[in-house]
Structure 1
């Protein structure tokens, strides 16, 4: 457990705090916790890369913490009816599908190694921007209604495209023959 991993764990521990703050309509505090989490994400990555502290644990924890925070914000805001429930369902379902597909491929001894696709990176960026705008709008009463509406549809479109792209990669991978144990050459990387 090194400093970057401790920072990531702190970000993961911020998830219940954000849910609690949203449930109490304390959007100002929730917004700043979200901003602090974003700063910590950049900080842990910088420290890990520049001080050669990258670890296997960090490679799993970092995206887990990021995704958990985003999902928590979307679910919290959806429950409070501050963002459309259908969007929350789409975002959470896409993530659940990806985790389920990866788990199933491992269970079938045909593991798929997921790499972020370009559309997935665009989707994550749009989700982060929308979460920041929605929380900022609620925290500071910015009245960015049309921007929020535009971001809802952008996130929805990118979530659908990203989910479809991962599904196609997974189907293609599962249609190939599994690699022999110890032979990584035959595995597709998504």
Structure 2
């Protein structure tokens, strides 16, 4: 099977294609439509994993592309929402810096020592959930603003800061430990 034509990977590509449209909607103050498109992106994220398992269409491409698409979507939205002064600089820099750092370290470790497996931790999963709740509540709050949305927005942005820092340190500690446990290759004779 061609990995570029598998249904789960096509959904991931669709999510990637939605990113520039989401940014344009946010920059043009179309928050209600941006909220809807963000929900569609979330549905594609849920469906791609489910379909990969149900249809037995899990691919190596999807294994790497799905988390990259998620990070690109969320990091870009944090930047766009910061540009609109809806999310603070602190939250945006932490989210973007952590995700950029993880992608950079992953690429370096893969290129230099072939380390490929970076399973997400409970801190990383919780961080992603908090980021999703934060973006959702910020977008929702621009056109629907009851007290519970304001509370969720404030709480989720604070939680995003905490879990971004925790998951970043946990990731660095885990990678350092794994690299330290790798046995050095024997010197070649000759």
Please give the range of the TM-score, normalised by the shorter of the 2 chains. 0.7 to 0.9
TM-score, normalised by the number of residues in structure 2: 0.88
Deviates more, 1:99-108 or 1:115-124: 99-108
User: Is contact 2:12–2:45 with CA below 8 Å preserved after alignment?
Assistant: yes
User: Match of 2:36?
Assistant: 32
Following TM superposition, by how much is the alpha carbon of 1:179 offset from its aligned partner in structure 2, in angstroms? 6.2
Match of 2:158 in 1: 153
Aligned pairs (5 A) from 1:14-29: 14-29=18-33
| One of 172, 175, 185 as aligned partner of 2:177 | 172
Q: What's the secondary structure of 2:163's corresponding residue?
A: helix
Which consecutive unaligned segments of at least 5 residues does structure 2 have?
none
Q: Who is 2:138 aligned against?
A: 134
Could you give the per-residue CA deviations for residues 88-142 of structure 1, whole angstroms, max 9, x where no partner exists? 0000111111112222223432525211001111111111111111111113234
RMSD: 1.8
**Cα distance in 2 between the residues matched to 1:147 and 1:44:** 27
- Flag the structure with more relative contact order, 1 or 2, with Cα contacts below 8 A and sequence separation at least 6: 1
In the alignment, which residue of structure 2 is the partner of 1:119? Answer: 123
**1:63 pairs with 2:63:** no
Answer whether contact 2:51 2:57 (CA < 8 A) is retained: yes
Q: Which runs of 5+ in 1 are unaligned?
A: 182-190
* SS, match of residue 175 in structure 1: helix
Question: How many residues are aligned here?
Answer: 181
For 1:44 and 1:110, the matched residues in 2 are separated by: 27
The residue aligned with 1:42 is: 46
- What is the match of residue 52 of structure 1? 56
Using a 3 Å threshold, how does the CA distance of structure 1 residues 139 and 61 change in structure 2: closer, same or farther? Answer: farther
